[in-house]
Amino acid sequence: MIVNAAEKCEEAPGSAGDRKACLVQFTVFTPTYNRAAKLHRVYESLCAQTMSDFEWLIVDDGSTDETEMTVRVWIDEGRFPIRYIRQHNHGKHVAFNTGVANALGEFFLSADSDDRFVPEALERFAFHWSAIPGEQRDCFVGATCLCKDEKGALVGNRFPSDVIDSNSAEIRYRYKVNGEKWGLLRTAVLREYPFPAMDRRNGYGIVPEDVVWLQIALRFKTRFFNESLRIYYRNDMGESIMRTPNLISEVACGFFELQRVVLNTQWKFARESPLEFGCCGLRYARFAIHSGLSRRKALALLLERNARRLVSWLWPVAFLIGLRDRWVTKI
Protein backbone atom coordinates (compact mmCIF):
# COMPACT_ATOMS: atom_id res chain seq x y z
CA MET A 1 0.00 0.00 0.00
CA ILE A 2 1.42 3.37 -1.02
CA VAL A 3 0.21 5.99 1.42
CA ASN A 4 1.82 8.94 -0.30
CA ALA A 5 3.61 9.67 -3.54
CA ALA A 6 5.91 12.50 -4.49
CA GLU A 7 4.40 15.56 -6.11
CA LYS A 8 5.09 16.98 -9.57
CA CYS A 9 5.07 13.62 -11.28
CA GLU A 10 4.65 12.76 -14.93
CA GLU A 11 3.83 9.61 -16.79
CA ALA A 12 6.74 7.22 -17.15
CA PRO A 13 7.53 6.45 -20.79
CA GLY A 14 6.37 2.93 -21.56
CA SER A 15 4.85 2.48 -18.12
CA ALA A 16 1.87 0.25 -17.51
CA GLY A 17 -1.47 1.56 -16.34
CA ASP A 18 -1.39 4.79 -14.39
CA ARG A 19 2.07 4.34 -12.89
CA LYS A 20 3.76 7.70 -12.29
CA ALA A 21 7.43 8.59 -12.49
CA CYS A 22 9.26 11.43 -10.82
CA LEU A 23 12.49 12.03 -12.65
CA VAL A 24 14.99 11.99 -9.80
CA GLN A 25 18.60 10.92 -9.81
CA PHE A 26 18.47 8.83 -6.62
CA THR A 27 15.95 6.54 -5.00
CA VAL A 28 17.11 6.15 -1.42
CA PHE A 29 15.50 2.87 -0.38
CA THR A 30 14.89 1.75 3.19
CA PRO A 31 13.48 -1.69 4.06
CA THR A 32 12.24 -1.73 7.64
CA TYR A 33 10.64 -3.89 10.29
CA ASN A 34 9.75 -2.51 13.74
CA ARG A 35 12.43 0.20 13.63
CA ALA A 36 10.29 3.29 14.26
CA ALA A 37 12.58 4.36 17.11
CA LYS A 38 15.67 4.45 14.86
CA LEU A 39 14.28 5.30 11.45
CA HIS A 40 14.80 9.00 12.23
CA ARG A 41 18.51 8.55 11.52
CA VAL A 42 17.83 8.08 7.81
CA TYR A 43 15.30 10.93 7.77
CA GLU A 44 17.66 13.37 9.47
CA SER A 45 20.49 12.36 7.15
CA LEU A 46 18.31 13.01 4.11
CA CYS A 47 17.16 16.37 5.46
CA ALA A 48 20.83 17.39 5.72
CA GLN A 49 21.86 16.36 2.16
CA THR A 50 23.66 18.97 0.07
CA MET A 51 21.73 17.94 -3.04
CA SER A 52 17.98 17.46 -3.38
CA ASP A 53 17.55 15.30 -6.49
CA PHE A 54 16.23 12.23 -4.67
CA GLU A 55 13.19 10.45 -3.28
CA TRP A 56 12.93 8.30 -0.17
CA LEU A 57 11.18 4.97 -0.73
CA ILE A 58 10.31 3.00 2.42
CA VAL A 59 9.13 -0.61 2.23
CA ASP A 60 7.66 -1.73 5.55
CA ASP A 61 7.90 -5.51 5.90
CA GLY A 62 4.87 -5.88 8.19
CA SER A 63 5.91 -3.74 11.17
CA THR A 64 3.72 -3.84 14.28
CA ASP A 65 5.16 -0.72 15.91
CA GLU A 66 4.65 3.00 15.13
CA THR A 67 6.50 2.94 11.82
CA GLU A 68 3.60 4.01 9.60
CA MET A 69 2.50 6.83 11.94
CA THR A 70 6.09 8.09 12.16
CA VAL A 71 6.50 8.13 8.39
CA ARG A 72 3.15 9.90 7.89
CA VAL A 73 4.39 12.78 10.05
CA TRP A 74 7.47 13.17 7.87
CA ILE A 75 5.38 12.99 4.70
CA ASP A 76 3.22 15.81 6.02
CA GLU A 77 6.30 17.91 6.75
CA GLY A 78 7.08 17.86 3.02
CA ARG A 79 10.85 18.29 3.26
CA PHE A 80 11.40 16.01 0.25
CA PRO A 81 9.44 13.30 -1.64
CA ILE A 82 8.65 10.27 0.52
CA ARG A 83 6.78 7.16 -0.54
CA TYR A 84 5.73 4.44 1.88
CA ILE A 85 4.78 0.88 0.85
CA ARG A 86 3.56 -1.68 3.33
CA GLN A 87 3.73 -5.40 2.61
CA HIS A 88 3.18 -8.63 4.51
CA ASN A 89 6.18 -9.98 6.37
CA HIS A 90 8.30 -11.81 3.77
CA GLY A 91 11.90 -10.76 4.51
CA LYS A 92 14.41 -8.20 3.33
CA HIS A 93 15.02 -9.78 -0.07
CA VAL A 94 11.33 -9.52 -0.96
CA ALA A 95 11.22 -5.94 0.32
CA PHE A 96 14.25 -5.19 -1.87
CA ASN A 97 12.46 -6.54 -4.95
CA THR A 98 9.45 -4.39 -4.10
CA GLY A 99 11.67 -1.35 -3.77
CA VAL A 100 13.43 -1.90 -7.08
CA ALA A 101 10.12 -2.44 -8.87
CA ASN A 102 8.74 0.84 -7.53
CA ALA A 103 11.87 3.01 -7.65
CA LEU A 104 11.64 6.24 -9.62
CA GLY A 105 15.33 7.12 -9.53
CA GLU A 106 18.07 6.39 -12.04
CA PHE A 107 20.18 5.08 -9.15
CA PHE A 108 19.13 2.91 -6.22
CA LEU A 109 20.84 3.49 -2.87
CA SER A 110 19.84 1.18 -0.02
CA ALA A 111 19.96 2.81 3.42
CA ASP A 112 19.17 0.48 6.29
CA SER A 113 16.56 1.62 8.80
CA ASP A 114 19.18 2.37 11.47
CA ASP A 115 21.71 4.12 9.21
CA ARG A 116 23.11 7.60 9.17
CA PHE A 117 25.21 9.09 6.39
CA VAL A 118 27.14 12.29 5.90
CA PRO A 119 25.50 15.41 4.37
CA GLU A 120 27.64 15.15 1.22
CA ALA A 121 26.85 11.46 0.59
CA LEU A 122 24.60 11.83 -2.46
CA GLU A 123 26.74 14.64 -3.87
CA ARG A 124 29.90 12.53 -3.62
CA PHE A 125 28.22 9.52 -5.24
CA ALA A 126 27.08 11.76 -8.08
CA PHE A 127 30.62 13.14 -8.43
CA HIS A 128 32.27 9.73 -8.65
CA TRP A 129 29.71 8.42 -11.12
CA SER A 130 30.12 11.46 -13.35
CA ALA A 131 33.91 10.94 -13.27
CA ILE A 132 33.48 7.69 -15.21
CA PRO A 133 33.88 8.49 -18.93
CA GLY A 134 30.46 8.63 -20.56
CA GLU A 135 31.26 6.03 -23.18
CA GLN A 136 32.21 3.53 -20.45
CA ARG A 137 29.25 3.91 -18.09
CA ASP A 138 27.21 1.14 -19.66
CA CYS A 139 29.89 -1.25 -18.38
CA PHE A 140 29.39 -0.07 -14.78
CA VAL A 141 26.64 -0.92 -12.33
CA GLY A 142 27.42 1.80 -9.80
CA ALA A 143 29.83 3.12 -7.18
CA THR A 144 30.78 1.94 -3.68
CA CYS A 145 32.32 3.75 -0.71
CA LEU A 146 33.62 2.95 2.78
CA CYS A 147 31.74 3.03 6.09
CA LYS A 148 32.71 4.34 9.50
CA ASP A 149 31.22 3.55 12.88
CA GLU A 150 29.48 5.95 15.25
CA LYS A 151 32.87 6.87 16.74
CA GLY A 152 34.40 7.68 13.35
CA ALA A 153 36.56 4.54 13.06
CA LEU A 154 36.80 2.81 9.69
CA VAL A 155 34.71 -0.37 9.44
CA GLY A 156 36.68 -3.08 7.66
CA ASN A 157 39.62 -2.12 5.47
CA ARG A 158 40.23 0.25 2.57
CA PHE A 159 40.25 -0.41 -1.15
CA PRO A 160 43.70 -0.96 -2.69
CA SER A 161 43.74 2.56 -4.19
CA ASP A 162 41.70 5.71 -3.60
CA VAL A 163 39.73 5.01 -6.79
CA ILE A 164 39.64 1.59 -8.42
CA ASP A 165 37.41 0.07 -11.08
CA SER A 166 36.75 -3.58 -10.29
CA ASN A 167 33.84 -5.77 -9.21
CA SER A 168 32.59 -7.12 -5.89
CA ALA A 169 34.13 -10.57 -6.38
CA GLU A 170 37.61 -9.37 -7.29
CA ILE A 171 37.56 -6.82 -4.47
CA ARG A 172 36.78 -9.55 -1.96
CA TYR A 173 38.77 -12.52 -3.16
CA ARG A 174 41.79 -10.94 -4.84
CA TYR A 175 42.24 -7.71 -2.90
CA LYS A 176 40.96 -9.13 0.44
CA VAL A 177 38.78 -6.10 1.16
CA ASN A 178 36.30 -6.80 3.93
CA GLY A 179 33.88 -5.08 6.27
CA GLU A 180 30.78 -2.98 5.67
CA LYS A 181 30.68 -1.01 2.42
CA TRP A 182 27.93 1.12 0.88
CA GLY A 183 27.04 1.56 -2.75
CA LEU A 184 24.56 2.86 -5.27
CA LEU A 185 23.48 0.78 -8.24
CA ARG A 186 21.74 1.52 -11.52
CA THR A 187 18.06 0.74 -11.04
CA ALA A 188 17.74 -0.64 -14.59
CA VAL A 189 20.44 -3.24 -13.87
CA LEU A 190 18.86 -4.29 -10.57
CA ARG A 191 15.61 -5.01 -12.36
CA GLU A 192 17.45 -7.64 -14.38
CA TYR A 193 18.67 -9.39 -11.21
CA PRO A 194 15.83 -9.86 -8.70
CA PHE A 195 16.27 -11.86 -5.53
CA PRO A 196 14.66 -15.33 -5.50
CA ALA A 197 10.93 -14.63 -5.09
CA MET A 198 10.44 -16.98 -2.16
CA ASP A 199 9.57 -16.40 1.49
CA ARG A 200 10.62 -17.99 4.78
CA ARG A 201 8.01 -20.73 4.50
CA ASN A 202 10.04 -22.09 1.59
CA GLY A 203 13.42 -21.90 3.30
CA TYR A 204 14.16 -18.33 2.13
CA GLY A 205 13.89 -16.51 5.47
CA ILE A 206 17.16 -14.79 4.57
CA VAL A 207 18.72 -14.53 1.13
CA PRO A 208 22.28 -13.14 1.37
CA GLU A 209 22.78 -10.09 -0.84
CA ASP A 210 25.87 -11.60 -2.49
CA VAL A 211 23.54 -13.99 -4.33
CA VAL A 212 22.72 -11.00 -6.52
CA TRP A 213 25.92 -8.94 -6.27
CA LEU A 214 28.16 -11.78 -7.47
CA GLN A 215 26.00 -12.41 -10.51
CA ILE A 216 26.04 -8.72 -11.38
CA ALA A 217 29.83 -8.80 -11.02
CA LEU A 218 30.04 -11.20 -13.96
CA ARG A 219 28.82 -8.45 -16.33
CA PHE A 220 29.45 -5.09 -14.72
CA LYS A 221 32.23 -3.16 -13.04
CA THR A 222 31.90 -0.90 -10.01
CA ARG A 223 33.83 2.25 -9.17
CA PHE A 224 35.17 1.86 -5.62
CA PHE A 225 36.45 4.92 -3.77
CA ASN A 226 38.04 5.47 -0.36
CA GLU A 227 35.62 7.90 1.23
CA SER A 228 33.57 7.06 4.32
CA LEU A 229 30.04 8.26 3.62
CA ARG A 230 27.89 5.90 5.70
CA ILE A 231 27.79 5.70 9.50
CA TYR A 232 27.37 2.08 10.59
CA TYR A 233 26.19 1.39 14.15
CA ARG A 234 28.09 -1.65 15.35
CA ASN A 235 26.20 -2.39 18.54
CA ASP A 236 22.58 -1.85 17.58
CA MET A 237 20.36 -4.64 18.88
CA GLY A 238 16.67 -5.37 18.62
CA GLU A 239 14.33 -6.40 15.87
CA SER A 240 15.31 -5.72 12.29
CA ILE A 241 14.31 -6.88 8.85
CA MET A 242 17.42 -9.14 8.89
CA ARG A 243 16.48 -10.70 12.24
CA THR A 244 17.91 -14.19 12.84
CA PRO A 245 15.38 -16.97 12.19
CA ASN A 246 14.83 -19.61 14.84
CA LEU A 247 15.17 -22.61 12.54
CA ILE A 248 17.98 -23.60 10.19
CA SER A 249 15.30 -24.58 7.69
CA GLU A 250 14.34 -20.91 7.33
CA VAL A 251 17.74 -19.95 5.95
CA ALA A 252 18.89 -23.17 4.28
CA CYS A 253 17.80 -22.42 0.71
CA GLY A 254 19.13 -18.86 0.70
CA PHE A 255 22.55 -19.80 2.06
CA PHE A 256 22.77 -22.85 -0.18
CA GLU A 257 22.08 -20.61 -3.19
CA LEU A 258 24.88 -18.24 -2.17
CA GLN A 259 27.46 -21.03 -1.94
CA ARG A 260 26.28 -22.42 -5.29
CA VAL A 261 26.73 -19.01 -6.93
CA VAL A 262 30.22 -18.61 -5.44
CA LEU A 263 31.43 -22.07 -6.46
CA ASN A 264 29.96 -21.86 -9.96
CA THR A 265 30.92 -18.28 -10.86
CA GLN A 266 33.99 -17.39 -8.81
CA TRP A 267 36.07 -20.58 -8.77
CA LYS A 268 38.86 -18.77 -10.62
CA PHE A 269 39.70 -17.09 -7.29
CA ALA A 270 40.04 -20.38 -5.38
CA ARG A 271 43.85 -20.40 -5.59
CA GLU A 272 43.99 -16.86 -4.19
CA SER A 273 41.53 -17.59 -1.34
CA PRO A 274 41.81 -21.35 -0.67
CA LEU A 275 40.58 -21.22 2.93
CA GLU A 276 37.54 -19.15 2.03
CA PHE A 277 36.60 -21.49 -0.80
CA GLY A 278 37.15 -24.50 1.43
CA CYS A 279 34.68 -23.04 3.92
CA CYS A 280 32.33 -22.30 1.05
CA GLY A 281 32.43 -25.95 -0.02
CA LEU A 282 31.63 -27.06 3.51
CA ARG A 283 28.71 -24.63 3.76
CA TYR A 284 27.46 -25.78 0.36
CA ALA A 285 27.26 -29.38 1.56
CA ARG A 286 25.80 -28.37 4.93
CA PHE A 287 22.96 -26.30 3.50
CA ALA A 288 22.34 -28.80 0.70
CA ILE A 289 21.62 -31.37 3.39
CA HIS A 290 19.29 -28.97 5.22
CA SER A 291 17.56 -28.19 1.91
CA GLY A 292 16.82 -31.87 1.42
CA LEU A 293 19.22 -32.44 -1.47
CA SER A 294 21.01 -35.72 -1.92
CA ARG A 295 24.77 -35.78 -2.37
CA ARG A 296 24.38 -36.76 -6.02
CA LYS A 297 21.93 -33.94 -6.74
CA ALA A 298 24.06 -31.35 -4.94
CA LEU A 299 27.19 -32.37 -6.86
CA ALA A 300 25.29 -32.28 -10.16
CA LEU A 301 24.51 -28.59 -9.58
CA LEU A 302 28.21 -27.68 -9.53
CA LEU A 303 29.86 -26.73 -12.82
CA GLU A 304 33.52 -26.99 -11.78
CA ARG A 305 35.03 -30.46 -11.46
CA ASN A 306 37.36 -29.39 -8.65
CA ALA A 307 34.46 -27.81 -6.79
CA ARG A 308 32.61 -31.13 -7.01
CA ARG A 309 35.65 -32.93 -5.63
CA LEU A 310 35.92 -30.45 -2.76
CA VAL A 311 32.28 -30.81 -1.77
CA SER A 312 32.44 -34.61 -2.09
CA TRP A 313 35.41 -34.75 0.30
CA LEU A 314 33.69 -32.45 2.80
CA TRP A 315 30.26 -34.10 2.68
CA PRO A 316 30.82 -36.41 5.71
CA VAL A 317 31.93 -33.43 7.82
CA ALA A 318 28.92 -31.42 6.66
CA PHE A 319 26.66 -34.34 7.57
CA LEU A 320 27.95 -34.29 11.15
CA ILE A 321 27.53 -30.52 11.32
CA GLY A 322 23.97 -30.97 10.04
CA LEU A 323 23.21 -33.40 12.86
CA ARG A 324 24.54 -30.84 15.35
CA ASP A 325 22.39 -28.13 13.78
CA ARG A 326 19.24 -30.19 14.20
CA TRP A 327 20.12 -31.06 17.77
CA VAL A 328 20.76 -27.43 18.68
CA THR A 329 17.51 -26.17 17.15
CA LYS A 330 15.55 -28.68 19.27
CA ILE A 331 17.00 -27.35 22.54
pLDDT for 15: 35
Question: Would the pLDDT of 11 be above 80?
Answer: no
This prediction's pTM: 0.86
State the pLDDT at residue 91.
79
Whether 6 and 22 have beta carbons less than 8 Å apart is answered as yes
Helices (H), 48-166: 67-77, 92-102, 121-130
| Mean pLDDT for the chain overall | 87
**Does 242 score more than 70 pLDDT?**
no
pLDDT, residue 241, reads 45
Q: What percent of the chain has pLDDT over 90?
A: 74
Residue 274's pLDDT is 96
Alpha-helical runs (H) found in 163-294: 168-173, 187-190, 210-216, 252-265, 274-290
- Given a contact cutoff of 8 angstroms between Cβ atoms, the answer to whether 166 and 224 are in contact is yes
CATH numbers and ranges of domains, the chain: 10-232 (3.90.550.10), 248-330 (no CATH)
Question: Strand 54-60 vs strand 24-32: parallel, antiparallel, or unpaired?
Answer: parallel
Task: Encode pLDDT of 49-95 as tens digits.
Answer: 999 999 999 999 889 999 999 999 999 999 999 999 998 877 788 89
Q: pLDDT at position 172, please?
A: 95
pLDDT band at 249 (very low <50, low <70, confident <90, very high): low
Q: Residue 6 pLDDT more than 80?
A: no
64-73: list long-range contacts, CB under 8 Å, 24+ apart.
64/34, 65/34, 65/35, 65/36, 65/37, 66/36, 67/32, 67/34, 67/35, 67/36, 67/39, 68/3, 69/36, 70/36, 70/39, 70/40, 71/3, 71/39, 72/3, 72/4
